[in-house]
Structure 1
Amino acid sequence: MSKLNILVVDDARFIRERVTSMVRESFPDFTVMAVENGTQAIRAMQQKQFNLILCDWEMPETSGLDVLQWCRAQDAYKQTPFLMVTSRGEREYVLKAIQSGVNDYLGKPFTREQLVQKMVKALSKRQQLSPEQQARAKAMLDDDQKAKPQSAPAKSMAKPKGLAQLRNSKQTFRCAIKDLNLREVKVVIKNEGAFPQVLEQVVVDIEQLSGDSVARINGFVTSVQATEQKLDAAYVDVLVSFMDEDPDKMAHLSKYIASVR
C-alpha cells in the first residue's frame, strides 16, 4: 500500500484539527502534517516532500493562492495534487485558482465524504492510491449519516440585529441575527423541516440591514433550539461559534457589532 504524506494548511485551528482527523480516519496509513499559515506550509515543503496539499485560501500574509503559485514554480511540486479549500465560491476566485494550477476546489463547509472523494480523485489520477485504500475510505463514509440535530426550548424572538446566510455543505438558510459578538452569533431560521447539525462546520455570511455584505465567517454549530415549546414551532435558533482568526475579518466584524448595539 502507498504510504503518502499529506499537508493540511489552515489558519483556523478547529478546521486544521477536523481535516486532519478526517484524513487520518479515512487513510490511517497516511502521514498528516498540519500548519497554520502559508509561510509555515512553504517551509514544511522545503524540508519534506508531500504527495497532496489541502490548503485554505484566506490566510493572513501568505494566502493559499500564494502557496499554490510557489508550488507550481518548484520542480518538486509542479505536479503535486493541490486542493484549494475556501468559503469563497465566486467565479473570479475559482478562475484564479484554476489559472494558477489548482487540481480541485473544495468549498467550505464540507463533509468528510466530499473531502475524501476529492482526495481519492486527485490521488487516483497519479496512481498513488491503492484499491485497498480506496475501498477502506469509501467504507468510512457511512459514519457521516449518523449525526442528528438537537433541539430545545429557547427565549422568544427579539428584534433582529441584521441579516445573514448560514451555509452548510448541503444548503443555504436565510436567517436573522438575534445576537452577535466576536466569539459567536445566534441566528433564527424558519422551520422548513431541515436544520444544521450540532458540531457541523458552517459559514455565516453576515449582511447589513441594507443588504451590503459584511464578512464570511467560518464556524461550527453549538446548539439548535426551537423558539417555542411546540412540536411545530415556526422558527429555530441556531448558535454558531466562530473559528476564524483573521484579524481583518475580526476588525470588520467589530465595526458591524458596534453599529447595531
Structure 2
Amino acid sequence: MSKLNILVVDDARFIRERVTSMVREAFPDFNVIAVENGMHARTAMQQKQYDLILCDWEMPEMSGLEVLQWTRAQASYQSTPFLMVTSRGEREYVLKAIQSGVNDYLGKPFTREQLVQKMVKALDKRQQLSPAQQARATSMLEAEKQKQPTAAVPARGGVGKPKGLAQLRNSQQTFRCAIKDLNLREVKVVIKNEGCFPQVLEQVVVDIEQLSGDSVARLNGFVTLVQATEQKLEAAYVDVRVSFMDDDPDKLAHLSKYIASVR
C-alpha cells in the first residue's frame, strides 16, 4: 500500500523538478516519475499503473485537459486521483476540468504546504496513505505554517516610464505592477511598497498586459531579485525581477512581438 506511483506532467523543467522534489520530501517512499508533455504522460500510463497524477494544463501538442480526458477514457484510470496544476484560474477552465473528471485543482504558483494538502486529501479518500505517511505529512504541514517570511533586500533604484503593466501572483496574493524591463528570459517590475513582497526563489506567475489593458502573455517564473528602489526604509516602491520558465513557442512568439512594440 505504501509504495505508491506518482506521475508529474509539466513542460517547464523547473516546475517538474520542483514538484518532484516536493513530493519526495513529503513522501520519501513514493515512486515519482516526471515527464515533459501529455504524449509522454500517456505513454507512461500505458507502461505502468499510477496512483496519482499531477498534471499541468497549458502544454504544447497535448494539453492537460486532453490528458485528463484520455485518462478517464481508460478503464484502469477512471477513478485514479487527477490533480490539475495550472496558472489558469478562470471559472470556465475550472468547469471544463470538473466536467472532464478532475479530482482537484491546484493553482500556480503554489507552496509545498498547498501541494501536500491536495495530495493527502486525494489519497486519503481512497485510503491509500499509511498512518506513518499521514503523520509525516501532518508534521511537514505544521512546520510550513510556522515558517516566517524574510524581508526584502534594500538597494537603490528608481521608477521610470513603464513598458507595460502586469500582475505578479504568488501563492498568497496578486501584486499590480509596472514593467521596467523585459526580454524573453526575464522581466523586471516595480510594485508599491505595502509591507508585503514576493520572496527570492519563490515561484510566481506573471500576467503581462499592454497599457491598453489587453492581455499579452501569462508566464511561469521564479523570483531572482527583490530590492527597494530607494536607500531608505520607507521606500515607496520595490523592484522585483522574475526569470521565466516557460518554453511554450506560442507564448514566446506573443511575448517577442510585444517586446518589439515597446522598444
Shorter-chain TM-score bucket reads over 0.9
Query: Which moves more between the two structures, 134-143 or 105-114?
Result: 134-143
Shift of 1:44: 0.4
1:96 alignment counterpart: 96
1:22 alignment counterpart: 22
Shift of 1:180: 0.2
Alignment of structure 1 residues 147-158 onto 2, 5 Å: 148-158=150-160
Shift of 1:156: 1.5
Aligned 8 A contact 1:149 1:198 in 2: no
Once the two structures are superposed, residues 35-85 of structure 1 have per-residue CA deviations (whole angstroms, 9 ceiling, x without a partner) of: 000000000000011000000000000110111011100011011000000
Once the two structures are superposed, residues 161-197 of structure 1 have per-residue CA deviations (whole angstroms, 9 ceiling, x without a partner) of: 0000000010000000000000000000000000001
Q: Specify which of 231, 235, 258 is matched with residue 256 of structure 1.
A: 258
What secondary structure is seen at the aligned counterpart in 2 of 1:24? helix
Amino acid at match of 1:22: M
- The separation in 2 between residues aligned to 1:111 and 1:81, in whole angstroms, is 20
Aligned length: 261
- The separation in 1 between residues aligned to 2:234 and 2:162, in whole angstroms, is 22
What secondary structure is seen at the aligned counterpart in 2 of 1:209? coil
Aligned 8 A contact 1:184 1:241 in 2: yes
What secondary structure is seen at the aligned counterpart in 2 of 1:165? strand
- The separation in 1 between residues aligned to 2:67 and 2:148, in whole angstroms, is 36
Aligned 8 A contact 2:228 2:238 in 1: yes
Amino acid at match of 1:154: R
- The separation in 2 between residues aligned to 1:48 and 1:186, in whole angstroms, is 43
Amino acid at match of 1:240: V
Aligned 8 A contact 1:205 1:215 in 2: yes
Q: Specify which of 246, 252, 262 is matched with residue 244 of structure 1.
A: 246
- The separation in 1 between residues aligned to 2:144 and 2:151, in whole angstroms, is 15
Aligned 8 A contact 2:110 2:170 in 1: yes
Shift of 1:135: 1.3
- The separation in 2 between residues aligned to 1:63 and 1:218, in whole angstroms, is 16
Amino acid at match of 2:246: D
Alignment of structure 1 residues 10-159 onto 2, 5 Å: 10-141=10-141, 142-143=143-144, 145-146=147-148, 148-159=150-161
1:188 alignment counterpart: 190
What secondary structure is seen at the aligned counterpart in 2 of 1:50? coil
Once the two structures are superposed, residues 71-118 of structure 1 have per-residue CA deviations (whole angstroms, 9 ceiling, x without a partner) of: 100011011000000000011100000000000000000000100000
Q: Any stretches of 5+ residues in structure 1 without a counterpart?
A: none
RMSD: 1.0
Shift of 1:154: 3.1
Amino acid at match of 2:68: L
- In the TM superposition, structure 1's runs of 4+ consecutive aligned residues that sit over 6 Å from their partners are none
Q: Specify which of 205, 223, 232 is matched with residue 221 of structure 1.
A: 223
Aligned 8 A contact 1:179 1:186 in 2: yes
- The separation in 2 between residues aligned to 1:149 and 1:52, in whole angstroms, is 36
Aligned 8 A contact 1:149 1:224 in 2: no
1:208 alignment counterpart: 210
Amino acid at match of 1:241: S
TM-score, scaled to structure 2: 0.97
Query: Which moves more between the two structures, 140-149 or 126-135?
Result: 140-149
TM-score, scaled to structure 1: 0.98
Shift of 1:27: 0.3
What secondary structure is seen at the aligned counterpart in 2 of 1:237? strand
What secondary structure is seen at the aligned counterpart in 1 of 2:199? coil
- The separation in 2 between residues aligned to 1:149 and 1:259, in whole angstroms, is 35
Shift of 1:131: 2.0
- The separation in 2 between residues aligned to 1:13 and 1:44, in whole angstroms, is 17
Amino acid at match of 1:160: P
